Structures are given as structure tokens and as C-alpha cells.
Amino acid sequence: MIKKLYNPFLDFKFDNSTCFLTGETLESEDDRIQVFPSWMMRVFDLEDKPFKMLDESFTTYKQLQLPCSVDVVHAFNKVENDVELAMQDGYSAVSQLSQEVLFHWVGKILYGVVFNEIQAGMRQAILSGEEMNFSQALVHKFRNLHLMLQSLLIPMEFEHRNPFTVEVFHVDNAPETFMYRDEINTLIFSLRMNDFAIIATLQDNGTNAIFHKDLLDTVRDRKLHPIQFEEICARYFYSAYLFNRLPEYTIMETPEKVFVEPMPLNDWTLKPIFDQWVVKTYGQVLESFWKPWGYLLFEIIKDPENPMTFITDDEGNFKDSIELPN
């Protein structure tokens, strides 16, 4: 187990001979863990399916791996086993998982994608003979995500509120459903399978959940049609894009535990925490999320004041029944 926090961003150490979470030197470059859980890849036949990287190149789900020490593998296996049992059981079991367990599970996948993206960028920089151009804002976010992920191994207390939120929804999915999305620039993640779906915002101090409080209250304890969940997902991904703060955290290490306290998001400019919601842009996001049902932008924003929705009716009540064209 690690005794102090490890920061790979100090010297950009992202090789395959160093444990990604602890910084320990590995005995073999074969000491690895899959980014996507093996059980999930097996159930949905994902191993050899293409996974698109930010540079437009493709790898496969199976090739996305993290160099990992034995202790870290064991710690993640405990999380994986708990989550696998819950996800195979369904919504009721998943909704009973703690926020911390869900964060460790989601965080490993999202950071695993980030790690592989960084490795790909470093290889590309070597081939081109140019320095790797990396946004300092992203380094800041990824460093904080990595720090919080270390709560898997060392006692860590998130004071006042969690930096992350994982919402679980009951969804009437088809049995074969597997829908995964992430956006590493905004650290948002969604997954839809079995009879549930999750949306995780990993570094907003719960602000997106506050922004969407009325929406969440409307759908709470409801079983959603997939098109309703995808609408919620579109709203979340767009608001995560509009979130214009770079959260800061006070980190205090003590012999007993690490204390992580979010700093206030308000600043001296008094600028709103979210940029202005633009209906046309939101409509474009929703068009992408509703692609399986074929709704186009001009239909979605035909009435710009009241963009198309399947969540509520004209009186603002939840739509229990959804009628879609054949």
C-alpha cells in the first residue's frame, strides 16, 4: 500500500514499467490491468471492437491497459467484483453502491483512457520530433483525478462535499444494450446497460447535479425510456461543457489520512459558474444523442423557446408513456 500521494505529472512519467497509481517500479511490463473490466468486455463482446482515440486513430477495448502493481490490482479487483455483481443484478443493486465505489470504478476507466491518450500523444511527439503540447488546464484536472483515485489505497476524506457525483437511473433498456460515452476534457462519463444507466461528473463538486436539480427531481424513482435517458445525458454533457470553472482543492496529508477540501467556485469576477445555455448548440448535442431515433436539429428546435423533450408534457408533468414513430 502507498504511504504518500504520487504525482506522475511532475515528470510526466507514463511508461509501462511504473505502476500508474503508486509510482512503484514493476517487475515486468506484463503487470497490467484492463481499463475496461474483463467481464464487461466478455459479456458485450468488446475485446476486439474499435475504440477511437482523440487523434482519430483506433485501438481496441482490449488494448487499453494500465501498468499496475499487484497490490493495486487486488484493490481494483475488489471494486470490480462488487460492481460486476451489482450491474449484473440491475438497477436496484447498482443504486445501492456507494458513491466512493462507483467513483473508483468509473474513475479507473476514465483515467485509464486518459493514460492511454497521453501515451499515444507522447509516441506521436517522438515520431514528429516535436514537443508534446498539453493544456495546463487538463493537466490540472487529470492530476486531481489521479490524486482522488488514490483514495482506493490510502484513507482520504473529502471535506464538506464529494468532488464527484454518480447518478444512477432506472432505464427500460433492450437486453443487449451497451452504450458507453466519455468526454475527458470535461471529465464526464455515461454508461447504459441492463436495466440501468449512470452519469458521472468527476470534478465539478456536484455542481451539475445542482444545475439539473429540477430535472433529477422529475425523473427520480421513475423508469425511463432510453430516449428519455439520452435526453438527460445530452443535457449533462452540454452543461459539463458550459461549466467554466477549474476546481481547486486544498490537500492536507496527515499520518492518519489525506484531507481534500474543495475551494469555493465563486470568484471575484462574479461570473456565473455556467456559460449561457444556447438552444441551437444544445439541439445539436441532443441530435447526436438521439441519433438512433432519427430526430434532426430542425425538429428539435422548431420552437426555440421550447425545444423538443420526451421527459415532460406541456404541463411539465413526467411522460409515463412514450410513443415513437416506427
Q: How far apart are CA 224 and CA 318, in angstroms?
A: 10
Q: Residue 295: its pLDDT value, please?
A: 94
What is the CB neighbour count within 10 angstroms for residue 270? 6
Assess whether pLDDT exceeds 50 at residue 1: no
User: For residue 67, is it within any domain?
Assistant: yes
User: For residue 168, is it within any domain?
Assistant: yes
Q: Residue 141: its pLDDT value, please?
A: 94
Mean pLDDT of 24-42: 93
Mean pLDDT of 222-238: 97
Assess whether pLDDT exceeds 70 at residue 287: yes
Q: Residue 281: its pLDDT value, please?
A: 97
Q: How far apart are CA 274 and CA 276, in angstroms?
A: 6
Contact by Cβ (8 Å): 294, 283: no
E strand spans, the chain: 32-34, 50-52, 58-60, 65-67, 156-158, 165-171, 178-183, 188-193, 196-201, 223-224, 249-253, 258-262
- Percentage of residues in the chain with pLDDT exceeding 70? 98
185-223 residue pLDDT tens:
999 999 999 999 999 999 999 999 999 999 999 999 999
User: For residue 40, is it within any domain?
Assistant: yes
User: For residue 17, is it within any domain?
Assistant: no
71-117 residue pLDDT tens:
999 999 999 999 999 999 999 999 999 999 999 999 999 999 999 99
User: For residue 107, is it within any domain?
Assistant: yes
Tally of domains in the chain: 1
Mean pLDDT of 43-68: 92
Assess whether pLDDT exceeds 70 at residue 45: yes
Mean pLDDT of 17-30: 92
User: For residue 204, is it within any domain?
Assistant: yes
Backbone angles phi, psi at 280, to 5 degrees: -65, -45
Q: Residue 119: give the domain boundaries.
A: 32-300
Mean pLDDT of 301-313: 93
User: For residue 160, is it within any domain?
Assistant: yes
User: For residue 314, is it within any domain?
Assistant: no
117-169 residue pLDDT tens:
999 888 887 777 777 777 899 999 999 999 999 999 999 999 888 999 999 99
